[in-house]
Amino acid sequence: MTQYLLSVHSVAGKPREPMTDEEMQESYKQVGLLEEEMKSAGAWVFGGRLHKPDTATVVRMAKGEVLTTDGPFAESKEHLGGFYIIEAEDLDAALAWASKVTDVINAPIEVRPFWEMPEA
Partner 1 sequence: MRDVDAALKLDEAEIGRIFREESGRSVAALIRIFGDIDIAEDAVQEAFAVALRKWPAAGLPPNPGGWITTTARHRAIDHLRRESRGRELLSGAALLSSGNDDPGAPGEVGPMHDDRLHLIFTCCHPALSTEAQVALTLRLLGGLSTNEVARSFLVAEPTMAQRLARAKRKIKAARIPYRVPEDHELPDRLRPVLAVVYLVYNAGLSSPADPSLCSEAIRLARILARLLPDDPEVAGLLALLLLTESRRASRTRPDGSLVLLGEQDRGRWDRALLEEAQAIVRRCLRRNQPGAYQLQAAINAVHADAATLEQTDWSQIVALYDQLLAIAPTPVVALNRAIAVGEVQGAAAALALVDELDLDNYHPFHATRADLLHRLGRNSEAATAYERAAAIAPTDAERDFLRLGGRSSR
3-state secondary structure of 39: helix
Smallest separation (angstroms) from partner 1 to the CB of 79: 23
The residue ranges of DSSP E strands in the chain, in sequence order, are 2-11, 44-49, 57-62, 65-70, 78-88, 109-113
What is the rounded CA–CA span in Å between residue 117 and residue 120? 9
* Closer by beta carbon to partner 1, 25 or else 99: 99
- What are residue 83's DSSP bridge partners? 7, 48
Smallest separation (angstroms) from partner 1 to the CB of 113: 5
Residues engaged in binding partner 1 (CB under 8 A): 2, 4, 89-92, 94-95, 111-113, 115, 118-119
Smallest separation (angstroms) from partner 1 to the CB of 90: 4
* Closer by beta carbon to partner 1, 22 or else 92: 92
